[in-house]
Amino acid sequence: MDKIIKVALPDFALEHGQNNAAKALGVTQGAICRAIKSGRNIQVTIENGVIKAEELRPFPNQPRDLP
């Protein structure tokens, strides 16, 4: 059975360091820092050694005026 681990980006970066987190996700260390500081809801998923991240946002993202 495959083991899937999900963790919030700040926790992932704290455990592995921002530089290593950035390398694992294919972004810069600055991008990791900005995402954490701005409070974006990014979840890191580790499955079979593959590391991916996705941002969870409300839908629709832009509030709209209802008539």
Q: Is the pLDDT assigned to residue 25 strictly greater than 90? A: yes
Across 2-34, b (16+ Cβ under 10 Å) vs e yields eeeeebebbebbeebebeebbebbeeeeeebee
Among 51, 39, 41, CA closest to 15: 51
The angle subtended at Cα 4 by Cα 42 and Cα 17, nearest 5°, is 50
pLDDT band at 61; cut points 50, 70, 90: confident
Question: Residue 4: helix, strand or coil by DSSP?
Answer: strand
Total domains present in the chain: 1
User: Does pTM top 0.85 for this prediction?
Assistant: no
Please report which confidence band the pLDDT of residue 58 belongs to, taking 50, 70 and 90 as the band edges: confident
Share of the chain above pLDDT 70, in %: 93
Residue 8 lies in a domain: yes
Q: Which domain holds residue 12?
A: 4-55
CATH code: domain of residue 31:
3.30.240.10
Mean pLDDT of the chain: 92
